[in-house]
């Protein structure tokens, strides 16, 4: 999907970029530019808005790995969103792979919203589909369209919650299994890094929304403030969700090593008990293994059998004592 424009006036309709010379008299326009073509349309943006995009903001928009941030230019506001590339999360074996990231730059003018992304960005595609299906028929300003984009973008974090819960359950069953020969710590750490990555993206979005709110506290209408409140509520839920998973992972690691330590202690306890049983038997064999000429009982006809019986009785008595003490 290459660059295109949609006009929001009396009716919503796509328009050809080549024929675009001015913004609609009523309503506003959504102009989407792919990164590969962004620089080619900068003169058109300057012609439409009379406010060219600052060169630094142009570089930010062209960077597909730029972190989330908010800034203000001459006659416009810019928010770069960095988050989930949802198309790369299908069948999310999140314990085995990292979540793909994507960055979308949004530039907000009084009568124009510009989005800049990679070709076929799933976030833009979903918003574009909703607009063409007339699912956003109440959108009357570029700020409201930007709100819906932010809503769809942030909602992905919350949609990951069931998948994260399933992966957490799998790791709990794996790491707390009583008998398990090996653990793929590489996959576990990859999953933990994925959670940290999601948490970082969500916190960056929260900071950008707070900056946007602070800038627009007086200059924009109450509706925008309500919309930003909603976005902040969603991203805070996402942050709390990732923090909860991260905390659960830390607890799971501690429980795992506690369980391993407990099993090792059980093994050592059994070995120690058997060592205690064989200690008096070893003492007896050591005594009769001395090479002295005159040793009582050594040449007795029943000495061998009597010694074996005595050693067996000692071992059995010790076993009963350990069982009585519940050490075995």
Residues 6+ apart with CB under 8 A from 100: 84, 85, 87, 88, 89
CA distance linking residue 99 with residue 191, whole number of Å: 9
Asked if 153 contacts 127 with a C-beta cutoff of 8 angstroms, the reply is: no
Span 81-110, average pLDDT? 73
Residue 28 confidence (pLDDT) above 80 = yes
121 and 141 in a single domain? The answer is yes
166 and 136 in a single domain? The answer is yes
Residue 175 confidence (pLDDT) above 80 = no
Span 177-206, average pLDDT? 79
In this structure, what token pair is assigned to residue 322? Answer: 């350990």
pTM over 0.85: no
Residue 180 confidence (pLDDT) above 60 = no
Span 161-184, average pLDDT? 73
pLDDT band at 307 (very low <50, low <70, confident <90, very high): confident
58 and 34 in a single domain? The answer is yes
For the chain, what percent of residues have pLDDT higher than 90?
Answer: 26
Q: What is the pLDDT of residue 72?
A: 93
CA distance linking residue 249 with residue 82, whole number of Å: 24
CA distance linking residue 267 with residue 278, whole number of Å: 17
Span 238-252, average pLDDT? 83
214 and 282 in a single domain? The answer is no
Span 213-235, average pLDDT? 71
88 and 215 in a single domain? The answer is yes
Q: What is the pLDDT of residue 224?
A: 63
161 and 279 in a single domain? The answer is no
Q: How far is CA 301 from the centre of its chain?
A: 78
190 and 308 in a single domain? The answer is no
Structurally, the chain folds into a number of domains equal to 2
91 and 195 in a single domain? The answer is yes
Task: Report pLDDT digits (tens) over 153-169.
Answer: 998 888 888 878 888 88
pLDDT band at 182 (very low <50, low <70, confident <90, very high): low
What does the DSSP assignment read for 241-284? Answer: HHHHHHHHHHHHHHHHHHHHHHHHHHHHHHHHHHHHHHHHHHHH
Domain edge (last residue) among 231, 252, 273: 252
Q: Could you give the 3-state DSSP secondary structure of residue 64? A: coil
312 and 220 in a single domain? The answer is no
Q: How far apart are the first and last CA of the chain?
A: 71
Q: What is the pLDDT of residue 220?
A: 54
30 and 144 in a single domain? The answer is yes
Q: Residue 20: what are its φ and ψ, rounded to 5°?
A: -85, 125
- Nearest to 75, CA basis, from 54, 104, 94: 54
Count of H-run helices and E-run strands, the chain? 9, 7
232 and 271 in a single domain? The answer is no
Q: How far is CA 129 from the centre of its chain?
A: 27
- Give the domain extent around 300: 261-324
Q: What is the pLDDT of residue 156?
A: 85
Domain edge (last residue) among 194, 229, 252: 252
191 and 128 in a single domain? The answer is yes
Higher pLDDT, 140 or 116: 116
Domain edge (last residue) among 188, 217, 252: 252
pLDDT band at 90 (very low <50, low <70, confident <90, very high): very low
Residue 96 confidence (pLDDT) above 60 = no
Residues 6+ apart with CB under 8 A from 167: 92, 93, 94, 95, 191
The stretches of the chain forming alpha helices (DSSP H) are: 35-38, 42-49, 55-62, 122-132, 142-159, 161-175, 185-215, 222-288, 303-324
Of 45-59, 149-163, 169-183, the poorest mean pLDDT is in 169-183
Q: What rounded mean pLDDT belongs to the chain?
A: 83
The CATH number assigned to the domain holding 282 equals: 1.20.58.340
Task: Report pLDDT digits (tens) over 266-285.
Answer: 888 888 888 888 888 888 88
Residue 57 confidence (pLDDT) above 70 = yes
The CATH number assigned to the domain holding 219 equals: 3.30.460.20
């Amino acid at each position: 999907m290459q660059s295109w424009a949609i006009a929001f006036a009396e009716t919503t309709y796509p328009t050809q970029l080549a024929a675009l010379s001015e913004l609609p008299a009523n309503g506003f326009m959504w102009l989407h530019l792919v990164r590969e073509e962004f620089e080619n349309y900068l003169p058109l943006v300057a012609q439409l808005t009379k406010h060219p995009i600052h060169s630094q903001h142009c570089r930010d928009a062209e960077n597909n790995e730029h972190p989330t941030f908010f800034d203000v230019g001459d006659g416009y506001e810019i928010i770069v969103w960095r988050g989930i590339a949802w198309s790369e999360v299908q069948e999310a074996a999140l314990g085995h792979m990292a979540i793909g990231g994507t960055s979308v730059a949004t530039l907000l003018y009084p009568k124009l919203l510009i989005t800049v992304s990679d070709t076929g960005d799933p976030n833009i595609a979903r918003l574009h589909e909703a607009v063409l299906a007339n699912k956003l028929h109440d959108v009357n300003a570029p700020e409201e369209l930007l709100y819906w984009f932010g809503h769809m973008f942030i909602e992905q974090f919350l949609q990951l919650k069931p998948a994260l819960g399933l992966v957490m359950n799998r790791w709990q069953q794996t790491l707390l299994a009583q008998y398990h020969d090996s653990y793929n710590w590489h996959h576990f750490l990859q999953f933990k890094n994925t959670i940290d990555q999601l948490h970082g993206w969500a916190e960056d979005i929260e900071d950008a929304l707070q900056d946007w709110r602070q800038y627009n506290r007086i200059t924009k209408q109450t509706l925008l403030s309500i919309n930003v409140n909603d976005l902040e509520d969603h991203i805070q839920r996402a942050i709390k969700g990732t923090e909860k998973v991260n905390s659960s992972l830390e607890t799971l690691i501690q429980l795992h090593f506690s369980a391993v330590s407990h099993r090792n202690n059980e093994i050592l306890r059994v070995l120690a008990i058997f060592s205690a049983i064989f200690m008096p038997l070893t003492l007896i064999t050591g005594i009769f293994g001395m090479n002295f000429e005159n040793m009582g009982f050594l040449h007795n006809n029943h000495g061998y059998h009597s010694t074996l019986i005595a050693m067996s009785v000692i071992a059995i008595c010790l076993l009963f004592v350990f069982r009585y003490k519940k050490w075995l």
